[in-house]
Amino acid sequence: MQKRCHCGDIMKMKLRTVIYSGKVEIDNVPIYSCSACSRSEVFPEVKPDLTGLIAQLGASPSKQTFLFNECNEWADLLVEASGDRKQPDTSAIERLIGERVNSLLDLMLLAQSLDDQDWMADISKRLSQISRRSMHT
């Protein structure tokens, strides 16, 4: 996955570790990086959840590590599509998106039949994360 950088070169997406406040490591964050000008930017689809996580940590967090893919569906799909590499396979992502949406919709039906409001809210949040979509290839 890639997009055009402001410098005109191509930015490639990789799963990286973001360090917040020198103490918190957030692993598996999708980041676009340009090898020509060294510019980096967070994958737009995950940015709201990353900023939300950082806001929850506060100004003086304790030393800790997070796997971002455990709290964001896009990051989880990209980790799965990456396999052993740090760069996701675009064709695998498309296939995984369809499978994940179908799986979440099945879970939503089950949660509704059990009238489990918390579970339904969690599934709805995950579906909304996946729906943030402006794939750059």
| HEC assignment per residue over 38-106 | CCEEECCCCHHHHHHHHHHHCCCCCCEEEEHHHCCHHHHHHHHHHCCCCCCCHHHHHHHHHHHHHHHHH
Q: pLDDT: is 97 or 85 the higher one?
A: 97
Question: pTM for this one?
Answer: 0.74
Is the model's pLDDT at 95 over the cut of 60? yes
Which letter, b or e, does each residue of 5-20 get, where b requires 16 or more Cβ atoms within 10 Å of its Cβ? beeeeebbbbbbebee
Q: Residue 1's pLDDT band (boundaries 50, 70, 90)?
A: confident
Q: pLDDT: is 36 or 83 the higher one?
A: 36
Q: pLDDT: is 106 or 135 the higher one?
A: 106
Sequence-separated (6 or more) residues with CB below 8 Å from residue 121: none
Please write the tens of the pLDDT for every residue from 14-34.
Answer: 899 999 999 999 999 999 999
Please write the tens of the pLDDT for every residue from 62-81.
Answer: 999 999 999 898 889 888 88
User: Which pLDDT value is given to residue 53?
Assistant: 93
Residue with tokens 């957030």: 26
